[in-house]
Structure 1
């Protein structure tokens, strides 16, 4: 049964990736022919493609909250590479990703053609990158970053780093905090997290062999950036996401379940 399920899902995945390659090739051609920046087209096509990709993955999705109407800087906790198709199907988004993703076979090329911005850790180019992010936001485009800087097992929220949140302050846009969680049999899903020394292929095969898991995405109330510095903004966003996922800690440090937890 598992082998049959895996084979069927792999066939669907290959078909979707092939479609994505055709779309990315079309974007490349558009870039050569068009006299205007095709980013808006990239975002719309990327959203459509990521919805197809998310449909192949063994997840049942539930979304809570309202999608922002005005352009915002989305900030989310980070559990897996699967966060990207699940969040990217909700709105026309661009992403900020670690530079290593650019070298992934096919997926890296698709991410590049989708308008993903890449950052290399320790490269010292955060000032230039911040300017690029700010320009992106000022053009009225949504952008999503993972301010933890790495993935977790879904049972905690790491510190949100504020250095890239300056782009929201400089552009005068609000933050859209997002909390994403993966559940299986009422508990934190052990299959979804992409952490440690995991490699993409092994993780993908484990995921496609597994039963369907529940994914909950909470679009939390936006946080205005006006009057705040980047560290204050980061702390407020982290607190909002932590509360949504983990609840409030009591005086002894135990974590009480949040009302939205299931």
Structure 2
């Protein structure tokens, strides 16, 4: 092992460990406040989550550039998905409720942090899509923004998979804007290979590699919002995916290595 990764981990590993412990304390505090002052719980939980995620980003080897404007009203955010780091990067920008597979709730540490941040857990294959859509619609109507990764899985950043529209019905029903987001990880102008969390990767092993990494450039594009109106949800999904592919410089999901397109500002 070269001395670079070792020296970087010497301070990053203990710093991240301490900050994760702080996150667990914050999650416990949020759970306590749910019982004591339920009317104010959501605002406090959102603020604590943003503070914690911002702190974690500062400890990771990331240089972040955000292009575009944050939505001014409750919105349904749709983003391509490369890594668990996406959640931290986007969650620090605005109060967001994330959707995650139900298994994450049982993960040590990560599950508790996710619950503390107000994550909604989806039980796949239960046939409860209608009930979930009602729940999502209720949250949008109540003024809460939602974050969905409509690919349903992560990629290496070399393509954008199909955006599934089954969960976009909540935007159609409530009239909430759809906020497309494009995220890219680069190193020296090329696609980074450390940040992607794919296949059978394990969280602690991936975090270990990430903490030994050199600086990774991240670009987050907040693209022009789409108005749901009466548009079919699958059409909204296709339009959102097309805008993400365009700004990432990809075509039909293939990696074009066209790094100059990553610096175009979202209009």
Q: TM above 0.5, one fold?
A: yes
Following the alignment from structure 1 to structure 2, what is the Cα–Cα distance between the partners of residues 183 and 219? Answer: 17
Distance 1:248 1:256 in 2: 10
Structure 1 counterpart of 2:192, from 178, 189, 192:
189
Residues 1:97 and 2:96 are matched in the alignment: no
CA distance in 2, matches of 1:203, 1:257: 26
1:24 offset after TM fit, Å?
Answer: 0.9
Q: What is the deviation of 1:254?
A: 9.1
Report the counterpart of residue 128 of structure 2 in structure 1: 125
- Residue 226 and residue 151 in structure 1: after superposition, are their counterparts in 2 closer, same or farther (change >3 A)? same
Structure 1 spans left out of the alignment, 5+ residues: none
Does the 8 Å contact 2:158/2:255 carry over to 1? Answer: no
CA distance in 2 between partners of 1:247 and 1:148 (Å)? 16
Pick from 13, 35, 38 the counterpart of residue 32 of structure 1: 35
**Is 1:83 equivalent to 2:72 in the alignment?**
no
Aligned residue pair count = 259
TM (norm. structure 2) is 0.92
Say if 2:134 and 2:170, in contact at 8 Å, map to a contact too: yes
1:90-169 alignment runs, 5 A limit: 90-169=93-172
* Counterpart for residue 172 of structure 1: 175
> What are the Cα deviations for residues 156-185 of structure 1, in whole angstroms up to 9, with x where unaligned?
000000000001111110100000000012
Corresponding residue of 1:60: 63
Alpha-carbon distance, 1:121 to partner: 2.2
TM-score w.r.t. the length of structure 1 is: 0.94
Tell me if 1:46 matches 2:42.
no
Q: SS at the partner of 1:36?
A: helix
What's the CA shift for 1:248? Answer: 5.3
Aligned residues: CA RMSD: 1.7
TM-aligned CA deviation for residue 246 of structure 1: 2.3
- Which residue is equivalent to 1:260? 261
8 Å contact from structure 2 (residues 77, 180) kept in 1: yes
Shift of 1:35: 4.2
- The separation in 1 between residues aligned to 2:158 and 2:255, in whole angstroms, is 13
Q: Contact between 2:190 and 2:259, CA under 8 Å: does it hold in 1?
A: no
Judged with a 3 Å threshold, the aligned counterparts in structure 2 of structure 1 residues 256 and 200 are, in CA distance, closer, same or farther, namely: closer
CA distance in 2, matches of 1:56, 1:65: 24
**Change in CA separation of 1:255 and 1:5 when aligned onto 2, cut-off 3 Å:** closer
What CA deviation, in whole Å up to 9, does each residue of 1:18-56 have, x standing for no partner? 111111111111111124262222112111111111111
Please list the CA deviations of residues 74-109 of structure 1 after superposition, one character each: whole Å capped at 9, or x if unmatched.
000000000011111111111111112112211111
Match of 1:243 in 2: 246
Q: Does the CA-based 8 Å contact 1:247-1:258 persist in structure 2?
A: no
5+ residue gaps, structure 2, are none
Q: Give the whole-Å Cα distance in 2 for the aligned partners of 1:183 and 1:246.
A: 13
